Structure 1
């Protein structure tokens, strides 16, 4: 190939064509065969809708002016306004922002949030900027994006090296430009300015919610799992804390200085106190110190990746010693690494689901701001939980009869072929069941008068009941084990509903992956 031809090929590459973007695109291509996606729609989704490049000049504290390149990418606005974080990092590129915007689109669609994906950033080293310089940078960046962002167009949030103070500056700058307070322009801001409770913990807590749900589906008690967590920041630190709170053992954690490992489990309270006092995990006493690369290969049951992109690759995936990998960071596993994990039978909880707690609570914050509402921490955590319980799938008010009702009334109910049994209650407390067999053996055969026979006299104790708070996966396994089709649901002994195995199968099928396409 001549030099001119090489230049021509190079010119044909798109501005966002980077390895990270190609990873996101490859994942998209791998998913297409599993979904009935129109060819034209698939082609549109391979490209961002808008990619904005701006420059951000600021006056430094010393008096001179520096100019920083900055970006904002909006991948898709089909489902609603775009949503995504803003990061300050020396390595921010248009390709990185585009890849992260693509993943945010999939994440919002998966969770059925009314958003598309976006991402932005400023290429700078935030550690070299003073607080006053960071404020100038943020306000000027916001001004440059006027007309690009908006509460119904594109809603920023914190990301790498940005926080609630950054969001407060963005909100204030935007509000001054439009002439009134617009708290819904950003999420992740201080609670005093319309931020949401639980936003700080949301991503890390969401990681553990997904892990807990996966363990439930797999029949693994979470309290018996040994976990390694890469990262000890907002995501990894909270995830480690939540895992321990649920009874799991955290063997190792890491930060920018490296990792610490204890085969018997870490004392996370002591670890947090050390980091608060010293800034990093470096020199933490009475543990084994390992590098971040070594930490990934430690023997464990669950490996939580809560740091950076591209951590599990073709080079180290063959040495991963875990049963389950949870992607708490964005893109922590390369395409090649993912393929190797699959061949080895190591399950991967993908980032678009596992770390979606942050955008979920961001959505809650946006809704609260639009409606000028304020939800409690418990309300938000309950709304965020992905766990489904028996009460979510049962049929309420199953039409039970009181113990004082007659056998004739039960017979009238059972004359309907669709009714297999009648539940009997005493002051809403379940006391028994009446079936056609019961009426034959207890009324017809002895020659009793059905009009004068009370159900309390002939009801048989229920063979099986389910508690309304039971996880649906556990309920399904119980119904399968005992081969029951319909089971009463109780709460504190009181009848609250009835659960059908057929309905439960349909409900759980919503979470199952689609069948593999026939390649033949």
Structure 2
């Protein structure tokens, strides 16, 4: 079978990394050029203009995107991001990673992602509601509980999903809870969904520690990012006995070699809006957090924070990717050469999409599970994924990222080949 030549890739950034990871998986699997091209390109993408009337009466026009990378295994699934850095290429990369994530954890979805180029901190709640509703109305033809199911991401939350659900439902004329996940429980959301990504990160972190023969009570961790994923990851690591010595957010970073009081820190952040100024720690340069002498590093913020500039200085023996694409491909090679175990994003942070799937199932059945049921099923799925990736990596002589991508790509390709090419 002919080996594919790589489709043109972006020179840099998340999309370039995503396409290069696909190229490597194709080389291992030996797929032909046609299948490679099909897997490299989104099946559908939409760019929209979002006119917004500001509270002062002025008009602003924002850019929004929704990319559906693949739906061979089921409806598309992926978050909606509000960030000044959102671009079409970033959304394309995130949608591709969602495809692999869903396939790797055997969730019956394809990958999608959405984004609006906006800094949500600069807009009122009323303005964000108008932006969300207009964006939802613009992408209405391509979303739905059997088509594409959005969820929260950076800069969005339960309230955003409630606005999306209400806008969609108003347009079709009846309430459709399953059109989005990550909703408030009062509107059909699932118990355990807000903390699901963080719990999944910690399940894989603890599995990686055990694989390396390390005991949580005698290990340390640093968490970059203290938002929805980072804060929960720090809390659950601490509850497992790991000494969390440093955390950071968009404003700065703090460090205490004896371990941070995460409960007190969360109260501080709830009051002050930042980790900075916390009395139980010293402030450090945020870049220095990534190179602290710890056992586990959890990058849980944005893409590309571990790169060629700092990869040689990473001292953690295990990196667990809470964010999407936090390690560039060049840095990944450096970490592998140095013996650092990297638990890839499409495995480590898959807890969110797993419990989103649980929420979608519950919404379609109008029957809700207990928090204990959700968390036990999440743990089972995460550990099954860990064992599958570890077995493939060992058998094929691959890194965990390579093994995860090969496994996921093969499952998506099998689904496509079984269905056939239409017409």
For normalisation by structure 1, the TM-score amounts to: 0.72
Greater share of helix: 2
Alpha-carbon distance between aligned partners in 2 of 1:266 and 1:242, rounded to the nearest angstrom: 13
Alignment match, 2:112: 118
**TM alignment of 1:99-138, pairs within 5 A:** 99-138=93-132
**TM alignment of 1:221-260, pairs within 5 A:** 221-260=215-254
TM-superposed CA distance for 1:512, in Å, is 4.8
**1:39–1:134 CA distance, 2 compared to 1 (3 A):** same
TM-superposed CA distance for 1:43, in Å, is 1.9
Alpha-carbon distance between aligned partners in 2 of 1:17 and 1:141, rounded to the nearest angstrom: 30
Q: Does 1:79 align with 2:73?
A: yes
For normalisation by structure 2, the TM-score amounts to: 0.88
The partner residue of 1:330 within 324, 327, 331 is 324
Alpha-carbon distance between aligned partners in 2 of 1:58 and 1:360, rounded to the nearest angstrom: 34
Alignment match, 1:63: 57
**1:508–1:127 CA distance, 2 compared to 1 (3 A):** closer
TM-superposed CA distance for 1:164, in Å, is 0.6
Contact 2:203 2:382 in 1 (8 A): no
Alpha-carbon distance between aligned partners in 2 of 1:386 and 1:344, rounded to the nearest angstrom: 31
Q: Does 1:277 align with 2:280?
A: no
Question: Residues 265-311 of structure 1: CA distance to partner in whole angstroms, max 9, x if unpaired?
Answer: 11112211211111111122242211210111110111111111111
TM-superposed CA distance for 1:88, in Å, is 1.2
**TM alignment of 1:455-474, pairs within 5 A:** none
Query: Secondary structure of the residue that 1:200 maps to in structure 2?
Result: coil
Alpha-carbon distance between aligned partners in 2 of 1:282 and 1:215, rounded to the nearest angstrom: 29
Contact 2:204 2:382 in 1 (8 A): no
Q: Does 1:290 align with 2:278?
A: no
Alpha-carbon distance between aligned partners in 2 of 1:217 and 1:516, rounded to the nearest angstrom: 16
Contact 2:69 2:111 in 1 (8 A): yes
The partner residue of 2:344 within 338, 345, 350 is 350
Contact 1:76 1:82 in 2 (8 A): yes
Question: Residues 89-144 of structure 1: CA distance to partner in whole angstroms, max 9, x if unpaired?
Answer: 12211000000000000100100111111111111221221111111111111110
Contact 1:210 1:386 in 2 (8 A): no
Q: Does 1:40 align with 2:13?
A: no
TM-superposed CA distance for 1:216, in Å, is 2.3
Alignment match, 1:195: 189
Alignment match, 1:98: 92
Between 118-127 and 329-338, the greater mean CA deviation after superposition: 118-127
TM-superposed CA distance for 1:35, in Å, is 2.8
Q: Does 1:145 align with 2:139?
A: yes
Question: Residues 442-479 of structure 1: CA distance to partner in whole angstroms, max 9, x if unpaired?
Answer: xxxxxxxxxxxxxxxxxxxxxxxxxxxxxx99xxxxxx
Q: Does 1:20 align with 2:14?
A: yes
Alpha-carbon distance between aligned partners in 1 of 2:59 and 2:342, rounded to the nearest angstrom: 47
Task: Kindly tell me the number of residue pairs found equivalent between the two proteins.
Answer: 391
Alignment match, 1:9: none
Contact 2:105 2:382 in 1 (8 A): no
Between 279-288 and 262-271, the greater mean CA deviation after superposition: 279-288
TM-superposed CA distance for 1:190, in Å, is 0.6
Q: Does 1:380 align with 2:374?
A: yes
TM-superposed CA distance for 1:178, in Å, is 0.8
Alignment match, 1:216: 210
Query: Secondary structure of the residue that 1:359 maps to in structure 2?
Result: helix
Question: Residues 136-183 of structure 1: CA distance to partner in whole angstroms, max 9, x if unpaired?
Answer: 111111110111111111110011111111101110111111111100
Contact 1:228 1:300 in 2 (8 A): yes
5+ long unaligned stretches in structure 2: 1-6, 399-423
**1:333–1:279 CA distance, 2 compared to 1 (3 A):** same
5+ long unaligned stretches in structure 1: 1-11, 393-471, 474-506
Alpha-carbon distance between aligned partners in 2 of 1:50 and 1:513, rounded to the nearest angstrom: 36
* Largest Rg, 1 or 2: 1
**1:303–1:131 CA distance, 2 compared to 1 (3 A):** same
Alpha-carbon distance between aligned partners in 1 of 2:126 and 2:90, rounded to the nearest angstrom: 27
Q: Does 1:185 align with 2:176?
A: no
Q: Does 1:341 align with 2:340?
A: no
Alpha-carbon distance between aligned partners in 2 of 1:350 and 1:516, rounded to the nearest angstrom: 16
TM-superposed CA distance for 1:259, in Å, is 1.0
**1:321–1:258 CA distance, 2 compared to 1 (3 A):** same
Alignment match, 1:317: 311
Alpha-carbon distance between aligned partners in 2 of 1:210 and 1:339, rounded to the nearest angstrom: 21
TM-superposed CA distance for 1:33, in Å, is 2.9
Contact 1:101 1:118 in 2 (8 A): yes
Alpha-carbon distance between aligned partners in 1 of 2:318 and 2:390, rounded to the nearest angstrom: 22
